[in-house]
Structure 1
Amino acid sequence: MSSDEDVAEFAALLTELKARTERSYGSLARRLGMNTSTLHRYCAGEAVPQDFAPVERLAEFCGATPEERLELHRRWLRAVAARQARARGAEAGGEETAAAEAAAAPEAPAEVESVPQGMPHGVPQDADSVPVATPWYRRRRGSVLLGVACALLATVGTLSALPADRPSNHPSAAGTGAAAGRGPAATATAGTADPASSSPTSGASPSASGSAGTSPGPQGSSGTTPSATPVPSSGSGSGSGSGSGVPLTWTADSQVWALGCGHDYVVDRPPSRVPPPPAAQDAGAWAAAQGAVHGRETNVQITVQGRSSTAVVLTALRVRVVGRATPLAGTAYAMDQGCGGSITPRSFAVDLDKDRPVARSVPGSDAGTPIPAVRMPYRVSAEDPEVLLVTARTKTCACDWFLELDWSSQGRTGTVRIDDRGRPFRTTGIEGLSRYMYDTGERRWRPYV
């Protein structure tokens, strides 16, 4: 691959991340604390930052996944190496020119000490004596560039050798923060887990500061104000540990309606422009197409299963709120189509309006027969999976949040981050909004009674 292609690939990924924010160069540059023209030159491939720090800030603000951050770091290394190689080529061309000039000049003494004091080296005293020597700054610059190139090659080799389940405090695997304006999820699919947030640790679970799944969002920490414009996401999260890492797999579907029929979405469109409610199984595609956000509550169904017959103990389920804003503007649309199921699943209830929300286990009911609440610790294996339902509610905020599931198995412990494909879940309050339900007889939305 040519040096120009390396730089172009790095710039292309920067541009893709920038596009997710829907911000102008000026607005984004201000949030990142950098110059607008500098950010534009990076995204256009006209310049490559010598330090990865501004690139890391951009990736965090744009909600890049750990895999995307690692790929961004690799492309940055190649782009820097390409620019250094170009500089070395230009330097080599300059030295060849100097050598050619030296060959054409009269024979000069090997030593240049005879130059009178105060006269710069390389400046002849007369036409009969022209001492030629490579300037000190060229010799020194060539050595420095050679050292930088060796260091970059060593770094690339080290990154290539890193295992997929590297420790969660790796700088390129920082936790994904709250993505401002994230929309709801679609259907759950199989995939790989966030390798940073699901790394095993030895002896104890990762701390809030060391775990990749616990870092604050791009605006800082809980209590910040993300954008109020929803951006629909692609779907619910899923994941698994690598072969030598996390001993469990999980999937998460945030498009679960209460009793299979009741849910509210907030859409910034009038009723005349909103299609009829979908079937529950098509909720993800419908919500993404409308740019809808979960109203009042979000139900996340998590399926956890061991990778083998060896037991994995689920020790705790925690909630992380990484963004708070005033409830979104728009209209609330109820999906209710005659709910009335007799089975209420056991679940975890989360009050997002609390300063420090917790996942509180609550019992269910099967036609009046109580279903005991899930009690941690809880054991799973390949033959004995578990389904957890988390219901997060809010009245006062548009909240971005995700879950952390602690596990323990055979003397190892760790934490997996449960989110929407690297993005936080989002739930907004609906108090004060106009609320509509769909009239199947008249085939139109009408005010909710």
Structure 2
Amino acid sequence: MPSRDGEGHGGTVSAAQDDVQEFAALLRRLKDRTDRSYGQLARRLNMNTSTLHRYCAGDAVPVDFAPVERFAALCEATSQERLELHRLWILAVAARQRSRSAASATADGSPSAADGSPVDAAEEPTGLVTADPTPAGAPPRAPWYRRRRLLVSAAVATALLATLGSLSALPDDDGPRASDSVQGSDPSRTTPTGTPRPKSTGSPSPSPTTPSPSDGASKKSSPKSTPSGGSSSKEAGRQQSPAGVPLTWSANSHVWQAGCGHDYVVARPPSQVPPPPPPQDAEAWAGSQSAVHGKQTMIEISVQGKTSTAVVLKALRVRVVGRSAPSGGTVYTMDQGCGGALTPRYFDVDLDKDRPIARPADGNDSGVTIPAMRLPYRVSAEDPEVLLVDARTESCDCSWYLELDWSSQGRTGTVRIDDHGRPFRTRGIKGLPMYVYDTSARSWVTYRP
């Protein structure tokens, strides 16, 4: 019977891969139980996102158990799971050490480790257990793959010197540049206030921005270039401001109070209305019934920068584009209210006012106050933010949308946040018949709050 290590090089490879993959599989199971991404977990663990992803994919094994222990704590692992994780980590480290020994004993000068992974002499110092890149007993003459690496390096160095020589020969231009004076997004994409946008949520909508330079000024300030397309040496070393809106957003307007309570107004009798959906299917259910938010609309807005450059969210405004008295319809309440110990911080909007504004409001977590979000606020690709807007009305059938002002690297602009190119709609429910779904009778029954 062969041992766990196997017999020969192939058995060592198979055993090493099995031990490492078992360890990685447990890491993935713990990660999948959370609602956090690799980036969010990596920031809490003070490591690179790519490093954490390599651990969970089985491409690397940490040499220290401390980050694994912190990872287990973030994923709320049980004591039994932590013991199992420690056991599998020990086996995975030992497997990598066996692979390292097998690679050292390889006499044919193969450029791969015993576990089949390529050996890279420029591996970043992430504290990983990897195979020794120098095969034991190598002859004085470098192997073919090392000679090819030297030739490639020499070719790259020659091309780099030639490029630097070309750039240094170009004339300097100290005049103004177009990138120095650009503000806001492309003015050709500006849409008048109140016009529905054809774009869906999830990408920044074109919006009114601050004025951009005239065409003549842009031509005068454009950087000089050579026939080959290269810019001046100063321009090459300058970080240019990106064009367009530097952030992305998505909006979910079917958020229920405490995750379980909401009212919809539907112009159909109870016999034609299906049972209430789970919260995650609310948008599809409301769309199929042409339902309108009754008395309250809660919108969850996710905002994130496109790059690591900070984008400052300066202001959030409410624009009412339609206002009338509510009439007709039947109110269908998703339940009789469930309440909750957690109330997130949000922006409160009173649509009954002539000029409604978004006011920051505190949240509450079991009696502990959650401070309201105060604008301005910074976001980037690594630091997204979620804004919750709670809009209410008692006597209005209101159509409205939001405007979010931003600034970044000297540029300013505004994005319009709406419902897939249409305004949001919220209407009062006072005096309308109300129904709640009785699960035992499997039908809608009259509800008197």
Normalised by the size of structure 1, how large is the TM-score?
0.50
Higher relative contact order (CA 8 A, sep 6+): 1
